[in-house]
Structure 1
Amino acid sequence: MNNIIFLLLAIIFETSATTLLKVSDGFSKLLPTIASIILYILSFYCLSNCLKTVPIGIAYAIWSALGIVLVTLVGIIAFKQTPDWAAIIGLLLIIIGVGVLNLFSNMAIH
């Protein structure tokens, strides 16, 4: 169960760090820049702990897919960025792909 907690924390930290990249305005604002760097370090720390038991392909697929979806939602809510139909279809395909990987792959979590 710890591996899932580490993975979820990695996703939350990475999504927060990516959001702060936007807020940092190209690293021109000090506090969001420092916070973003710290959150990326925490994200990679959590991801590396998750990888002790979760296959790298599975972990990275979940990490990147959920990160993409969460960052898109943050963009919609915080920055008023509206995805078009192509973006929505792309996001759905990513989610479906991760679902297929997790449901039908023989790569077991140990």
Structure 2
Amino acid sequence: MVRAAARCRDRAINRDGVALQYLWGCKDVAYQSSAWAALNLLISHVFGAAYLVSGGASWLDFGDRVARHGIEHVYAGRPKNWTQAARGFLKYMGYRAEGRAP
């Protein structure tokens, strides 16, 4: 789990460090945008699980940062995206509850 989280953190994060990309390594400017907030919520549980397995608080710091960006920028007008993202995000909240207070 920690290796999967590290790969997402290191390879899927966009240039500004707050949004995860749909297409890793894609040079298209559209995929470098922080606007893809739904993916943050969909994938955030990976960082919570990495914390639970490793005990490394840095996973919560990173997970909180991408989750916060996701919550602030999610567009609930696309019900399919919101539903998928919300399911993943609730898993993160469960893992997060095992950690320190935000």
Shorter-normalised TM range: 0.3 to 0.5
Question: What's the TM-score, normalizing by structure 1?
Answer: 0.35
| TM-score, length of structure 2 as denominator length | 0.37
Structure with the bigger percentage of helix: 1
